[in-house]
Chain A
């Protein structure tokens, strides 16, 4: 069993290493002190399980998981994070609250080895969805573009466009794909700034310069960049109410 440890505090890693000594079947293949190293190590070693801290430099544990295509089983470790703990509890994912005892640690390991890998992954996706609803996560979106990780502040988003199983995020610096649904972004983004104008479009209203009629019943929102975003009949009603027209 290959295991990776991701935590920014050396002492927090050392205690897990110490507890792991009592589980010789688990082989610690990598130790990472932030999410970037974590993404790399997971791709390189394909571990069976990771211990993952939530609050870490640059990108947090949840954001890191979003960047991994086929995430391994996860045991979360955190000291205190109301939102995360709520998310864990509602999705029955195992987590360790620091400081945790060896007994508690052993319990988490045996729980994990009993459950199949499949099961824990099924729980992971809805967990990530609800975890990213915590206030700090609404301010940025983490994406990966040809191996490089980008952190996009939501103010920089011009508009979002549905693209099959992905959402295309259009910003000043180009567009990025994110493996999420339009519904997810509609829920997570500030509704007073981001309006779903169309089944396949969410637009940042601060970027709009004008709204033109287009064919019958439809409109086009013209952005500062010149981009043209379709506005459906119902989308136009929503847009007008947000703009106070």
Chain B
């Protein structure tokens, strides 16, 4: 529920100050017409008291019922009804209070000024209504904005969580199958692979999204992943990793490269039947990190559209969520080589 403007003390003071000022002016005006002070005071207090009450009620009505745009005619009608009620009730109360004969001429004066009083009441109540409509509209908008921000943040967090948690059941079960096979033929290697798999799974689970990691660390977990894949695919898979010393100390969102390399392996290994070499190079360019991943592919059977798949989309999406840029991932297919280039802008808190 939106706050009422009258709940803010500054506005409340202005509101009451305003009515005191009007009551004062009203009294002075009537004394100016040579009517007795008492009559002027009674008239002023009753009329302005009622108007103030009407304004309070209007403000509360609009708080719970804000007209849709272009339906301000309802507000107009409401103001008119309130002005009529204030006028009638005011006159009734004044007559009730000023019973002394000394005030006898005051009643016709009151009746003569009917339209003026009605106009004044309408203006006052209308003014209040306009202020309230503006106030509540802005208040509502702010609330919407806040809600939208919250929702966006929530869904962003959820999405990042989900993307990170893509544990690739295919990879996991195939690795377990390889271990199962190795236990019979080569128990030492089986044990080694269990350790590699555990280390890899731990790195995928441990990392917080906000905590960027050093490229060096990211490359280590990538190499773990590649080692596991090499056990699975035997001699068919080999990798070449080139890295420049500067880049190793730079920061990168955790597990960003893994889906890219996974994509390269899938693309390379499932689109050709030959041995496959995956090239990964990490370098710095204008203070930003640049990672290039290359894999062979067969242009005859693999339309690049078909090959980009979930992996690259998730990377694009993550980079978009982090940097609000869509141009950070580039892909290129040329001469049977598929190249993915990822640019990672410098982290804001890099210096920390």
Contacts and interface: CB of A to CB of B under 8 A. Distances in A.
Interface of A: 8-12, 14-15, 18, 33-34, 36, 55-58, 79-81, 97-100, 139-140, 151, 153, 155
B231 interface: yes
Contacts of A12: 174, 177-178, 181
Nearest to A56: B270
A14 B272 contact: no
B232 A58 contact: no
A190 to B, nearest CB: 13
Given A58-B270, A139-B303, 15 more contacts: A11-B177, A11-B234, A12-B177, A14-B185, A15-B180, A18-B184, A34-B273, A56-B270, A57-B272, A58-B273, A58-B301, A80-B170, A81-B170, A153-B303, A153-B306
6 contacts: A11-B231, A56-B270, A58-B273, A58-B301, A79-B173, A98-B174
A157 B45 CA distance: 89
Contacts of B233: 8-10
B74 to A, nearest CB: 43
A140 B185 CA distance: 39
Contacts of B184: 14-15, 18
Contacts of A155: 303
Contacts, number: 80
Contact of A98 (B173, B182, B231): B173
A52 to B, nearest CB: 15
B173 A97 contact: yes
Nearest to B184: A18
A30 to B, nearest CB: 16
Contact of A11 (B178, B269, B298): B178
B176 A98 contact: yes
B169 interface: yes
B150 to A, nearest CB: 34
A80 B231 contact: no
Contacts of A34: 273
B303 A79 contact: no
Contact of B234 (A9, A55, A153): A9
A8 B276 CA distance: 13
B338 to A, nearest CB: 15
Given A79-B170, A153-B303, A99 B176 contact: yes
A46 to B, nearest CB: 23
B232 A9 contact: yes
B300 interface: yes
Interface in B156-181: 169-170, 172-174, 176-181
B139 interface: no
Contact of A9 (B174, B185, B273): B174
Contacts of A97: 173
Point out which of B177, B184, B231, B234 has the most chain A C-beta atoms below 10 A from its C-beta.
B177
A99 B273 contact: no
Nearest to A16: B181
A80 B270 contact: no
A155 B303 CA distance: 10
B223 interface: no
Contact of B174 (A10, A56, A79): A79
A58 B269 CA distance: 9
A139 B180 CA distance: 34
Contacts of A98: 173-174, 176-177
Contacts of A139: 303, 306
Contacts of B300: 151
B271 interface: yes
Contacts of A18: 181, 184-185
A58 B271 contact: yes
Interface string B275-307: 000000000000000000000001011010010
Contacts of B231: 11
A140 B306 CA distance: 10
B170 A55 contact: yes
A99 B272 contact: no
Contacts of A100: 177
Interface string B171-208: 01110111111101100000000000000000000000
B266 to A, nearest CB: 9
Nearest to A12: B177
B177 A99 contact: yes
A78 B179 CA distance: 15
Contacts of B174: 9, 12, 79, 98
Contacts of B185: 14, 18
A15 B183 CA distance: 10
Nearest to A97: B173
B275 to A, nearest CB: 11
Interface in B231-283: 231-234, 236, 269-273
